A = this chain, B = another copy of it.
């Protein structure tokens, strides 16, 4: 185990250098990058589909899909006519900054205002890797149970926004939103939390407003610093 930790730290340092390059590249292009992290099946791709439909008229959007093997998620995004690159990690359980840097190079025709990165479905490792993104967004589906923020605190600590997904299923579950919120606030006191449902549209307006606010802020900041 000790050896693994040492290797891990060296890898994380190398990752940080690449993430810094990605961040500079995005700043030069006034492009916002949002990194979606959740367990498998929490609804990242479904949220993306609904979001792209609403934002594509206003902003130039690209998507980077992370998956262990398949291209299923990228196919769903490409079906909408949105530029998308699939990263297959071939067994690795998270995206790192080098993968994202290469994917940015392959995303083609830019410039983009907004790039979504859909990370590999995993509540542990993706939280540790800086991809050069502006914001990590943590998704937690109501069917996963209320104990996840306490059990996987790092992803909720590093998130700029928490989306509680599949809100339409709450009536059929023992799900205590207040307890989830309390556990999230313990590690991240100020983070906004929105209950969403791709099925009913609940929370979509608040999520889109949050995105628009980040986009406006990024455009302002970038035009000052560049």
Contacts and interface: CB of A to CB of B under 8 A. Distances in A.
16 contacts: A1-B99, A4-B11, A39-B41, A40-B123, A40-B148, A41-B144, A41-B148, A67-B151, A68-B124, A69-B153, A91-B154, A92-B124, A93-B93, A120-B124, A143-B169, A169-B173
Nearest to A3: B11
Contacts of A143: 41, 141, 143, 166, 169
A206 interface: no
Instruction: Among A41, A152, A153, find the residue whose CB has the most chain B CB atoms closer than 10 A.
Output: A41
> How many copies altogether?
2
A193 interface: no
A151 B11 contact: no
Nearest to A98: B1
Interface string A67-84: 111101000000000000
Contacts of A148: 40-41
Contacts of A39: 39-41, 121, 144
Contacts of A11: 3-4
B68 A152 contact: yes
A150 B72 contact: yes
A151 B4 contact: no
Contacts of A67: 151
A172 B142 CA distance: 14
A122 B123 contact: yes
A147 interface: yes
Contact of A7 (B7, B40, B141, B166): B7
